[in-house]
Structure 1
Amino acid sequence: MTQSAESLFEQGIEQYKAGAPASDLIPVFKEVCDRAPKSSAALTCLAWLYLLEEKPNSALKAAQKAVKITPQDPQGRINLALAMLDSGKKGVRDHIDEALHVMMLSSELKEEVKQNLEEGLSRKPDWKSLQRVQKWLFES
């Protein structure tokens, strides 16, 4: 019996939390996305992993799909904004504004995003785009 996309997703999240390198987890989340192509959570994670691995064009594609499926997810919007910044694309502000709007409505989501960004900087301390986005979201 093959593993379900959901259990594979959960395993990938646990491995990430345990400190597994993004490069090891990209194939796991690609597999989850292949099995569950409408999973915006899996696409959001895949985009994040690509960003950590400095693959902004791959991150852009995954983040665009995630936002198309779930436009109200602030982390998906933030990942899309980061991918756009890292690949030199325009239109970042709209996604930042939308993420800010949703975060104003949910302190739980705001805290989750804050933790995700801090965790991203712990894995990739010199990530200039993430530092900019963090400033826009939490110092405005």
Structure 2
Amino acid sequence: MNGSSQYDVFLSFRGEDTRASFTSHLSSSLSDNGIDVFKDDTHLPRGNNISLELQHGIENSRISIVIFSKDYAGSRWCLNELLKIMEVHRVQGRLVLPVFYGIDPSEVRNQISSFGDSFQDLIQRSSPTDDEVLRWRTDLREAGGIAGFVVLNSR
């Protein structure tokens, strides 16, 4: 671990999709093996600015594991987290490890199928700027193109 990293792994995930299943098991397994994990429900003190805490967690982790699930792109928080993760990846060379949970990497790259539907629903609901949508699409395409793990029909 280099001197500037506070955590080994930052987990990015859509809570309602994976928190009680895949993410909790992954987090426990990593922790059980001595890997320090930043997960938003365990490292965010009450009353702190969530956005700043998440940025700090991303900037101070050696690796980011992004768990793409069918509704990941339906969350503005998740997409903005992804923007920061990919920025740190590009600028500082931090490792990004995508996990495609119940979806194909092409769905993330191209924002299609249920993943794409979730993304379009977010755009309709939240009226982001054209620049935000372009940045999200660019980083989804880039992250979806990184070799990772595809987890289908897993317990």
Shorter-chain TM-score: what band?
Answer: 0.3 to 0.5
TM (normalized to structure 1)? Answer: 0.34
Q: Which structure would you say has the larger RCO, counting Cα contacts within 8 Å and 6 or more residues apart? A: 2
**Larger % of strand: which?**
2
